[in-house]
Amino acid sequence: MTRRVSGFLLALAAFMIFEWINLGFNLADGHPTSFYVVHGILIAVNIILALVLGVVVIRSWKTSNRRG
């Protein structure tokens, strides 16, 4: 993976974390409990995916530094 692609994916991971945390804080009151459960699960899964993506990208970035 090139450094350019790594940089893009790292920015994407950071955006995903920011976006989903922001969504969590902006959920309005007055919805049924199931709405909050589903959105809570979506937020948790997407933050975990963003963290995994960030780890993969950082490892790739470090590997590309060693290679060349």
Q: What is the pLDDT of residue 68?
A: 57
With a threshold of 0.75, does the pTM exceed it?
yes
Q: What is the pLDDT of residue 55?
A: 94
* Full domain range(s) for residue 41: 3-67
What is the number of residues in the chain? Answer: 68
Tens-binned pLDDT, residue by residue, of the chain (68 aa): 788 888 899 999 999 999 999 998 988 888 999 999 999 999 999 999 999 999 999 998 888 777 65
Q: Which H or E run contains 34?
A: helix 33-67
| DSSP label of 68 | -
Q: How far apart are CA 12 and CA 45, in angstroms?
A: 15
Domain count, the chain: 1
